[in-house]
Amino acid sequence: MPSHTIPSALAHLYTTAEGARWNSDGWRALTGCTHGLLPDDDSKLPSGWNRAMANKIKSFMETYKGIKNDSDKIKFASAKKGAMAHEGAIIWKNFCINLFQRCRIHRHISKVMENLNIHPNQLSKCPDFTKGSNSLSYILLACTEVGLSLYGDDSITELGHLKQNLVAGTQALVTRTWTNACRHVTQSQNKLESLAEQANSTYKCKCLVCHI
């Protein structure tokens, strides 16, 4: 099954946790959406929104919530044409991408993984690490601390775990950061291997010249 995009992950959080995490103090402080996502007062809407945009996003969220399985939710959130396309989807997508960049949310998640010593860049230095085989266990290990970092104390249960209705959406966000980090690790490793091959070729050429 394809993984959630950022817009789909944030829509998943909003619809499964009844407005969360847009109603939490930590998320409001981080994102600047101090009155939640869809307040009734137009003056309190997120920056750059108007009521027409808010209504389209509300309709998008209601449709998203009514879809039964995650695979179809992911398709719906990214559909640009056809029967599944929704006019609120592109507004939501642009908002979410801007939000992630402006608030450096990937960096917040990466920092948590680094503090737990499970960031792919750290794990890649271990000889027995493979990016695919253990990814889910590392991602799940990070979810509670990521929730605490992004949403605040009210996202944690009395037992110290992330609240159940936040787990799936948070896991989707962590997965996106994990996937991006693994891609960067692979690119860096490939670049190093290429440089090593170039250096080796140069050395061999010099050796041949010396023997002429």
* Structural domain harbouring 171: 104-212
Number of folded domains that form the chain: 2
pLDDT at 211: 54
Rounded CA separation 22/45 (Å): 12
pLDDT at 131: 58
* Residues 131 and 45 placed together within one structural domain of the fold: no
pLDDT at 126: 82
* Residues 75 and 10 placed together within one structural domain of the fold: yes
* Residues 115 and 198 placed together within one structural domain of the fold: yes
Domain boundary among 74, 103, 132: 103
Confirm if 10 and 169 have CB atoms less than 8 A apart: yes
* Residues 123 and 157 placed together within one structural domain of the fold: yes
This prediction's pTM: 0.82
pLDDT in tens, 164-179: 999 999 999 999 999 9
E-strand spans in the chain? none
Cβ neighbour number for residue 96 with a 10 Å cutoff: 19
* Residues 18 and 120 placed together within one structural domain of the fold: no
* Residues 86 and 157 placed together within one structural domain of the fold: no
* Residues 161 and 134 placed together within one structural domain of the fold: yes
Counting runs of H as helices and runs of E as strands, what totals does the chain give? 9, 0
The stretches in the chain having pLDDT less than 70 are 1, 18-21, 130-133, 187-212
